A and B are shown apart, each in its own frame.
Chain A
Amino acid sequence: MREHHESLRASVRRGLEKLALEQDLSDSTPIPPERELMERFDVSRGTLRSAIGDLVSAGLLRTEQGRGTYVNKEAQARLLVWDRLADVARPDSRFHDDYRQFVPDFVGRDACDEAVQNLAAWKNAATVFIAPDNSLGGLRLLALEQGKRVLVPTYGLRRGFVLLEADLIPPEQRPLAATLDGMESLGTCVGVAAVPEFIDGVDLMVSGAVAVTTQGIHIGSESRYLAVELAVLTQLELVSHRTPLIVTAHDCQVLEVDMELSTVSCVASTVVTPTRVLHCGAHTGRARTVSRTDERRVLRLVNAAIDEEVS
């Protein structure tokens, strides 16, 4: 009996997942009501609710009391794009093809780097924040070759930032400095709170993405590192709402959809793919909202870092 319930629950879960993934990305209406789903899957309310509960914990669905069950659009976008990445993504040295853990490098990325180089925001920047995404190794190297200072967070900001300075890294070591494995030994490790002692400000932010919309809405990993990093740098007064954010991605990661901004944290000023450059100026005014949860994480991070440095 119990086993039967478990397999039924799993099959309803798969059915719901399919239903969620097939909903239009710009459609923010709830999924059909319980009664209708119970009929469709021919199951009891209890089984349906446990299956919904599974997908709520997995982050794909969210239930709003008295209103219904909704698809989390960011989670849906991630699942859609992860499915497409296998053909174009390059594996990570630790995480292989587990795209939940990292933003992969991709086929055609050289063309992206070329296009970024030609943007005024890049040309004018002396200090660049570049996310620790595998797709940005080329730009980290390029920035060093062009004499820029590069600020890279360690994974998840767990050990603060690394500051790479072209002057301090011999030319033949720059390809290594541009990798995650090399940057810490060739750059300066800087605690979160100490960053303002090293730089006056960040002129440009560059990030990869799991997915990005044509309006520039950035969808990162579930942990939303970019939002946290952005909030930390804002808190430290190193970036402002005018600091440009360039997001690079493979064309298959770009979603042609007008998604709602409410649950999203960062908006790009420019999106660059191997074939396109999209200027997303329209959104900069209401860009970079930081959710309450992210805000709390930021405060915790900054405070922990300050405590550590004081003690």
Chain B
Amino acid sequence: MTVESEQSIQQYREQVWGELIKIARPDSRFHWDFSRFIPDFPGSDRCSDFVMGLDAYAQLGDRQIFVTPDNSTEDLRRRLILDDRPFLMTTYGLRRGFVLVDPADVPPGEARYAATLDGADHYGRALSLSELAAGRPVGMLVTGGSAVSRNGIRFGKGHGYFDFEWALFSELGLVDGGETVIAVMDDCQIIDTDLPGEPHDVVVDWIVTPSRCAGTGRGPRGPGAIRWDLIPGSEFEELDLLDELKEVLDMGQE
């Protein structure tokens, strides 16, 4: 990524954060520090309605759904539990890998609890990468974010977790380009312009806000690849998951 685009992205991010702080809900640990979490906002329940109303959701069949551990997707996780639909998520910052939340493990009345990050630690099942790789393909990915452009170029907190996660799914053969990627955002997080994006950006198919559900008409996607060249010196370097990933990918080549 060029220095110039990095700067303008940070500008967009801070511009949006300035609006977002007026409506966002604080995090239990990080308060208002949007560089550390993606906040929930009023109306995120309407976003869940839009996501679950998409044909892509109805047509998932036995393909899995992945939801990022953002606060803005908490209501959607609650709704998925109520809809009896297991979902994949990561632990915060991928530090303890992937988790499967299966509604069968959640007692009646506790969907809302299980949908929080504290609750996912309580009711979720840790999944190793080999378990993940042996599982069913992923047909839908839902993520929050800091901002998204009209044509579906999305920015997160500035760490690149979602792009990494999608690339990982791609390397494990869990996505093939036909998957639906959805960004859940408040209206104030939409940048009303088209942005060029970078080759490793995962362009989203749908931008869902409390007021609308807009398709971006993105072109073909993938296949994705882990950018091993970007890992040294980044926070990804410390992840236990990387060693496991190397092992799983080596096994695949034999």
Q: A residues touching B (Cβ–Cβ < 8 Å)?
A: 90-96, 101-102, 154-155, 158-159, 172-173, 175-176, 179-184
Contacts and interface: CB of A to CB of B under 8 A. Distances in A.
Nearest to B74: A181
Interface centre among A158, A159, A181, A184 (most CB of B within 10 A): A181
A199 to B, nearest CB: 22
Top 4 A-B pairs, shortest CB-CB distance: A172-B109, A181-B116, A176-B113, A93-B117
A9 B96 CA distance: 34
A180 B91 contact: no
Given A91-B121, A96-B95, A176 B31 contact: no
Interface stretch (B22-30, B49-57, B167-175, B241-249): B22-30
Nearest to A90: B121
A101 B36 CA distance: 14
B121 A175 contact: no
Interface of B: 26-31, 37, 91-93, 95-96, 108-110, 112-113, 116-121
B17 to A, nearest CB: 18
Contact of A159 (B26, B37, B113, B119): B26
Contacts of A183: 28
B155 to A, nearest CB: 21
Given A91-B96, A155-B31, A179 B119 contact: yes
Nearest to B27: A94
20 contacts: A92-B29, A92-B121, A93-B91, A93-B116, A93-B120, A96-B91, A96-B96, A155-B31, A159-B26, A172-B108, A176-B119, A180-B28, A180-B118, A181-B28, A181-B117, A181-B118, A181-B119, A182-B118, A183-B28, A184-B28
Given A172-B109, A182-B112, A183-B28, 17 more contacts: A90-B121, A91-B96, A93-B91, A93-B92, A93-B117, A94-B27, A94-B30, A96-B93, A154-B28, A154-B31, A172-B110, A175-B110, A179-B113, A180-B28, A181-B28, A181-B119, A184-B26
Contacts of B120: 93
A175 B92 CA distance: 21
Contacts of A91: 96, 121
Nearest to B40: A185
A179 B26 contact: no
A182 B116 contact: yes
A133 to B, nearest CB: 12
A159 B160 CA distance: 29
Contacts of B108: 172
Contacts of A102: 29
